[in-house]
Amino acid sequence: MNEALEQRRSQLGLLARSPQADIAGHLASLGETPAWRWLRKPETGMVMLRGRVGGTGAQFNIGEATVTRCALRLNDGTVGVGYVRGRSARHAELIALCDALLQQPALAARVASTVLAPLAEAERQRHAQRAAEVAGSKVDFFTLVRGEDK
């Protein structure tokens, strides 16, 4: 149960970080999507982001972020939710649709391979590219040993 929850969480995270156009493109290549209707239309609001100093210290509020969320229901009753940073209602809708499809045993594997796998690969490449760009400006600090310390 917890594993399933953890998996859904990481899938929703991947979808929220991926560009909207990519999700739309991969979903389109999936072919026909089942009919659905809104439970909660996309709405934009603010959430407070919290952090800890050094990851372990006392909690503090970093600041607020704009978030758009929605929930929809496929005709067979499966409910999908979408949360994304920013104001894109369409992005939240695509995430919710993927979330609902991923909960359908018949479709989950196909959605994972057609939509999620390319998105994960694209994200890995984005990270690698960014790491390569930044690597050029890396500075190794060192201290010259001075004579009087001998």
Partner 1 sequence: MSQPTMNPSSMNLSSTSPLDLSRMQPGLADPVHDAQRCFRTVLEALSHPGRLHTLPVDVEHPAGLSPAQAAILLALADYDTPVWLPLASRNGDAGRYLRFHCGCPLVDTQQGTPIDAPIGVRIDAPIDAPIDAQFVVLDGLSTLPALDTLRLGDPAYPDRSATVLVDVPALQADGPLKLRGPGIRDTQALGVAGWTPATSAWLADNHARFPLGADLILSCGDRIVGLPRTTLVEV
3-class SS of residue 55: helix
Minimum distance from residue 84 beta carbon to partner 1 (Å): 18
Closer by beta carbon to partner 1, 81 or else 120: 81
Closer by beta carbon to partner 1, 11 or else 18: 11
Minimum distance from residue 39 beta carbon to partner 1 (Å): 5
Distance CA 34, CA 36 (A): 6
Those residues whose C-beta lies under 8 Å from the C-beta of residue 103, and which sit 6 or more positions away, are: 8, 78, 80
Closer by beta carbon to partner 1, 99 or else 119: 99
CA-to-CA separations, 90 to 46, 48, 59, 133, 149, in angstroms, rounded = 18, 23, 33, 31, 64
Check: CB of residue 8 under 8 Å from CB of residue 99: yes
Minimum distance from residue 15 beta carbon to partner 1 (Å): 18
Closest alpha carbon to 111 in 89, 94, 92 = 94
- Point out which residues bind partner 1 (CB under 8 A): 37-41, 43, 71, 73, 77, 79, 81
Closer by beta carbon to partner 1, 55 or else 77: 77
Minimum distance from residue 71 beta carbon to partner 1 (Å): 7
